[in-house]
Structure 1
């Protein structure tokens, strides 16, 4: 097995171990999600280890800004690169992660494919959807964030 394939195979296990470590030993965590739009459609991901369609995102690494993490995660998960200036939309408390997690939400006005997407151990598939035509299984949090942006719903404070 190549080193790349081994790393890809380990990603879900590393994510689960990180989540467990946070739950056991504390510390506040910061994640990011990105509302990426191209040609009027929103880019969503379906993970291999949790059900539903989600906004692309993940954790912020040490010495990395939240915006840089949002751009990196968008590219890593989908192969799409954000173009234009990312706009910070809000910071949300995510109680599902041991009551210590916050999610910074960004919106990018456009994104372009830079790498062909291939399903992997973390992301099963990606899709572009009209905001009013989201797929079955789109998570409540994802639907709410999109409604806040596109329909003017007041922002919630919880993810």
Structure 2
């Protein structure tokens, strides 16, 4: 059982944890999703549920949002602080090596679209954080710890 001080600290200093996945198809195109509740295109991902590891959450979100399955282990590409989400949010970024692509899922309440884009033809309304992660991963920008 937690003592009073650790319990108060957990409530006052709790954090949220999310995941995002960089998944590239055999043609070199990057998977992006469009959410119903956020503007622009983003890397697939979401929150880590109770009892779930970050990798489990990344695999689940990839499947739920785009009907894509990572084949083999995911490579952790970084952990980032996201101060815009309550000042306590962190995002773990993974890279998927090989992927199996199922039929594109139908639109639903959360995901409006899931598409693969060539690196030289990314959509104009891609989220700034997604653009930063892409630039860092391909060596065009220095690594940052801020989402």
Extract unaligned runs of 5+ from structure 1: 1-24
RMSD, aligned CA = 1.4
Counterpart CA distance in 2 for 1:54 and 1:73 is: 13
Counterpart CA distance in 2 for 1:151 and 1:129 is: 19
Name the counterpart of 1:33: 20
Matches within 5 A, 1:26-105: 27-39=14-26, 40-105=28-93
Are 1:131 and 1:146, in contact at CA under 8 Å, matched by a contact in 2? no
* Aligned: 1:139 with 2:139: no
Counterpart CA distance in 2 for 1:137 and 1:145 is: 15
Counterpart CA distance in 2 for 1:135 and 1:116 is: 18
Which of 108, 117, 124 pairs up with 2:105?
117
Which is higher, the Rg of structure 1 or of structure 2? 2
Name the counterpart of 1:18: none
Counterpart CA distance in 2 for 1:117 and 1:26 is: 37
Q: Give 1:115 shift.
A: 4.4
TM-score when normalising by structure 2: 0.86
Structure 1 runs of 4+ aligned residues shifted over 3 Å read none
Counterpart CA distance in 1 for 2:86 and 2:142 is: 26
Q: Give 1:136 shift.
A: 1.1
Counterpart CA distance in 2 for 1:33 and 1:101 is: 13
TM-score when normalising by structure 1: 0.80
Q: Give 1:118 shift.
A: 0.5
Are 1:56 and 1:74, in contact at CA under 8 Å, matched by a contact in 2? yes
Q: Give 1:84 shift.
A: 2.6
Per-residue CA shift, 1:7-53, capped at 9, x if unaligned? xxxxxxxxxxxxxxxxxx76200000000111201000001111000
